[in-house]
Amino acid sequence: MAKRDKPLTYAEHLQLERLLSCQQRQSELHGRPAHDEMLFIVVHQAYELWFKVILFELDRIQDIFSGPRTDDSGLGAAIHGVTRIVEVQKLLIHQLDVLETMTPMDFLDFRDLLVPASGFQSLQFRLIETRLGLRPAERVSFDERPVDARLEPEDRVRLRAAEARPSLRDQIEDWLERTPFIQVSGYDFREVYRQAVVDMLEQDAALVRDNPMLSAAEVDSELASIEVSRQRFDSIFDEARHRALVEEGAWRLSWRALQAALFINLYRSEPVLQLPFRLLSGLMDIDETLTNWRYRHALMVQRMIGRKVGTGGSSGHDYLRRTAELHRIFGDLFALSTFFIPRSRLPGLPDDLRRAMGYSYAQGGAQGGARRDAEGGA
């Protein structure tokens, strides 16, 4: 390392001279200085800096899941990165509170000077969406134009390169498909769980039929509801049915990945599944917090410009509201709760499998070997 002539200063490390000279008000350049344009610039610059942090965290997370095997020791770092992304997202939501101290009339003082600049041109945000797993075909188009239509040519190239690589959602699917314990030495989670569901629904149907307080019409209605539940569960157990639902867009995760995610959620108290459960929960937090930000952003835009067209020529509030509803990335993980059954009905795990899923030091050397055998090629 080269020796410095003088100690590093705070301003040098943060390059404050460059950073604090990057706030140029267009209103000032046009001879009509608008006070609130400074706030508008700083908030959006802060957004881009936080977007950079999110992308930096995604670099490490995606690297952890990039190979044919995922080292267990990397899960902790991945979960830490996911947690950090969620906390950054919360800051992004809070920045809207700060921005909303600017009134619609304050915004009108300089809004016309921004055309056609728009948040739609934020490459970093598009990269975040893409790298998390939002696919081009799933994007809501605005003004019947593709999302990259307003990007600069070099930014368009970078976005398309990101689209061509596996997303975090793709990597998580591959990782889930490699989950051990689903089928090992005489134990098949799918068949055991399916029988538990069948038994539960049959018992529920019997209770309905034997309930003297229900009318014939109410019995028919309850039994029809139970049948609907049974058909829903078929999408978990029947591979062909699941494949059809994937083609319809009802599911994105593969059949095996979906079962693995269900297994992790149902048996999350087992030591070996605690980190995987935290990871899946963190991914849901990212999706939920991003959706909350989209809703808040849509409301802020409506508050600021009403039904006007945005500076980038978009339909403003309506477009942003639709993205909040449709740009979900880990929706399959949210839908899994449809297939949970009460703990009292949950099938117990075989003793040897439970021991293999425990902590090796608590089980002794022989059990540690059993766990390694069960993990196989994870």
153 found inside a domain: yes
Cα(370)–Cα(191) distance, integer angstroms: 23
Give the model confidence (pLDDT) of 7-17 as tens digits: 999 999 999 99
Domain, as residue range, for 140: 10-178+251-330
Assess whether pLDDT exceeds 60 at residue 378: no
Of the listed ranges 114-118, 195-199, 209-213, 311-315, the one predicted with least confidence: 311-315
Query: 138 in a domain, yes or no?
Result: yes
Q: Is residue 279 part of a domain?
A: yes
Of 338 and 56, the structure prediction assigns the larger pLDDT to 56
Tens of pLDDT, residue by residue over 347-362, are 999 999 999 888 866 5
pTM of the model: 0.88
Instruction: Check pLDDT > 60 for residue 372.
Output: no
Beta bridge partners of 142: 145
3-state SS assignment for residue 32: coil
CA angle 367, 371, 375 (to 5 degrees): 170
Of the candidates 89, 116, 48, the one whose C-alpha atom is nearest the C-alpha of residue 289 is: 89
Average pLDDT in the chain: 90
**Residue 359, in any domain of the structure:** no
- Record the tokens describing residue 17, joined without a space: 């001279």
Residue 133 covered by a domain: yes
CATH of the domain at 99: 1.20.58.480
Average pLDDT over every residue of 254-259: 95
Q: What is the pLDDT of residue 376?
A: 40
Q: Which amino acid is at 291?
A: T
Beta-bridge partner residues of 145? 142
Is there a contact between 296 and 99 (Cβ–Cβ < 8 Å)? no
Comparing 23-37, 42-56, 64-78, 313-327, the range with the smallest average pLDDT is: 313-327
What is the DSSP secondary structure assignment for residue 151, as one 8-state letter? S
Greatest Cα-to-Cα distance within the chain, rounded to the nearest angstrom: 91
- By three-state DSSP, how is residue 330 classified? coil
What pLDDT is attached to residue 364? 55
For residues 306 and 196, give the distance between their C-alpha atoms in angstroms, rounded to a whole number: 53
Q: 179 and 264 in contact (C-beta within 8 Å)?
A: yes
Residue with tokens 């539940």: 229
**Number of domains observed in the structure of the chain:** 1
Crossing angle (nearest 10°) for helices 37-64 and 72-99: 170
Residue 357 in domain: no
* 289 contacts 50 by C-beta, under 8 angstroms: no
Query: Long-range pairs for 264-271 at CB < 8 Å and ≥24 separation?
Result: 264/176, 264/179, 265/336, 265/337, 265/340, 266/193, 266/340, 266/346, 267/349, 267/357, 270/349, 270/354, 270/357, 270/358, 271/357, 271/358, 271/359
| Distance separating alpha carbons of residues 251 and 267, to the nearest angstrom | 22
CA distance 220 to 284: 37
Q: How far apart are CA 255 and CA 242, in angstroms?
A: 6
CA dihedral 163, 154, 51, 69 (to 10 degrees): 40
Q: Is 371 inside any structural domain?
A: no
Asked whether residue 231 is assigned to any structural domain, the reply reads no
Positive or negative CA dihedral for 64, 69, 74, 80? Answer: positive
